[in-house]
Amino acid sequence: MSGHRTTDLLPRREGAPARSDALPAGLDVRSLAAAIPHSVWVISAPGTIVYANPHAVRYTGVDALAAGPSGPAWVSIVHPEDIAAVEQRAAIAGLAPEPFELTCRISRADGSFRRHDVRVAPVFDNSGLVRHWTATGTETEPIPATSDEREPAQARHAEIELRHAQKLESLGRLSAGLAHEINTPIQFVGDNTRFLADAYQDMLELLLVYRECLAPDLEAMQWSERVRRARAAEEKADLEYLTAEIPAAVSQSLEGVDRVASLVRAMKSFSYKDSTEPAYADLNEAVKTTLTVARNEVKYVADVVLELGELPDVRCHLGALNQVFLNLLVNAADSLKETSERGEIRVSTRVEGENAVIVFADNGPGVPEEIQPSIFDPFFTTKKVGKGTGQGLALARSVLDKHGGSIELHSTPGEGAVFTLVLPIKGVQA
């Protein structure tokens, strides 16, 4: 495929059968190639493009016919950094008749390069040398949007990345609690497993005594003696204790395994990177998942009451809403830490018309009236330095706005705070 490396790339195949690229009479291959929405080239053995279909001409701006009899070199449409790899692959293919596939960057008419999947087939002459190559190219890298389209797309992408980073930051804050939540069931699973190992040994020894008492060669032994031996073995094994505790240990272990599995599922679901397109999701399940992740932050300061109504799946960006739910739960827990008594966080969901309504309420100290108008402002926080960035509620409002919904605060100082989220069930309508 290259004029300056023809001898390297076009080796003769020993014992190769004669082949012909003659086409059936009446078959108009050019018409066929013109209808294909992909680039098609025919490249001579020395490495010049002798044919390019209309799509390839429009895409690259390189026309084999316009370039004159010699034709343009194939290297003129391939990214300089990819040429060596293409030549190396072509050299290997020159030894066998099978087509090969590779990925390289092809130039566009505007001078930029886009990644393509390229399929190349060598065509041999009767003497076993490569006569020419046929190649098809399919773009795999999307063409960038225009400047007017690019800015909103870039802003959307940056917003998704920011939300994902904040989600991971939240998980970082919760990591110690999550580790504790996982360690506790793992610890009692380990303790129960060790108990079951000891209990198995005790039960095995008891079983051996039973078998001994029933052995045929002990016919001379009085039945009373056999009963005495069996009862002594039962007392040694503490049979009543084992029969009560073994089922409990198994049940606790299974519960611990289920607890760890639910934590892992919750973390995986919560940390999943959001996509650019909304999808229908179960918000009741999302609330439960977020509560599982935040459980260690909440359980020492408040009881959580869930009043989840019947909700249809809501068209939304679930990852973004997970972050909002987490921010509201953690904020409620933080506010309750300022009180002397154990508090309550109540989460409820319901349907109102075409909207899903999610309410987070706590009985903490509430939000002072003078700062309520600023509560959703970026970087506004009442927490101590290092305890908050002031982005949580600002993010919540931004997310709800993007969903065509709303978030409102109702708070009476000394009586707690209520955040009401309203989301259109069918999402933002285009």
Model pLDDT, residue 292: 84
Residue 343 is inside which H or E element, if any? strand 343-352
Q: What does the pLDDT read at residue 322?
A: 85
pLDDT at 5: 36
The pLDDT score that the predictor gives to residue 184 is: 74
Higher pLDDT, 374 or 218: 374
Of 386 and 146, which is predicted with more confidence?
A: 146
Range name among 190-194, 273-277, 360-364 with the lowest pLDDT average: 273-277
If we measure between CA atoms, which residue out of 307, 355, 356, 362 comes closest to residue 332? Answer: 362
Per mean pLDDT, which range of 161-165, 224-228, 241-245 is the poorest? 161-165
The amino acid that residue 21 corresponds to is D
pLDDT, greater one: 278 or 129: 278
H helix or E strand, kind and range, residue 409: strand 406-412
C-beta of residue 106 within 8 angstroms of C-beta of residue 39: yes
Give the angle 339-341-343 at the CA atoms, nearest 5°: 85
Neighbours of 253 (CB within 10 A): 19
| Percent of the chain clearing pLDDT 70 (strictly above) | 73
**Amino acid, single-letter form, for residue 407:** I
At residue 420 the predicted structure's pLDDT band, cuts being 50, 70 and 90, is very high
User: Does 304 score more than 70 pLDDT?
Assistant: yes
Reported confidence tier of residue 218, pLDDT bands at 50, 70, 90: low
The stretches of 272-317 forming alpha helices (DSSP H) are 283-298
Cα angle for residues 367, 368, 369 (degrees, 5° grid): 110
CB of 307 closer than 8 Å to CB of 418: no
pLDDT value of residue 62? 85
Q: Which one is predicted more confidently, 376 or 279?
A: 279
Q: Output the pLDDT for position 27.
A: 57
Q: Which residue in the block uniquely carries the two structure tokens 């987490």?
A: 326
Q: Is the pLDDT of residue 289 over 80?
A: yes
**pLDDT for 2:** 46
> Cα 420 from chain centroid?
29
d(CA 412, CA 416): 6
pLDDT in tens, 110-141: 888 899 999 988 888 787 777 888 899 998 87
Number of helical (H) and strand (E) elements in the chain, helices listed first:
10, 12
Range among 47-61, 160-174, 349-363 rated most confident: 349-363
Residues 6+ apart with CB under 8 A from 182: 260, 263
User: pLDDT confidence of 157, banded at 50, 70, 90?
Assistant: low
What is the pLDDT, as a whole number, of residue 296?
80
pLDDT band at 7 (very low <50, low <70, confident <90, very high): very low
71: left (phi over 0), alpha (psi -120 to 50) or beta: left
For residues 298 and 331, give the distance between their C-alpha atoms in angstroms, rounded to a whole number.
Answer: 10
State residue 389's pLDDT score.
45
Residue holding tokens 């194939």? 74
pLDDT greater than 80 at residue 367: yes
pLDDT at 429 over 90: no
The total of other beta-carbon atoms located within 10 Å of residue 74's CB is 24
The chain-wide mean pLDDT, for the chain, equals 78
pLDDT 10s digits, 387-417: 444 456 877 888 888 899 999 999 888 889 9
What pLDDT is recorded for position 149? 46
| Range in 125-139, 175-189, 413-427 the model is least confident about | 175-189
Q: What is the mean pLDDT of residues 353-362?
A: 95
pLDDT at 316 over 60: yes
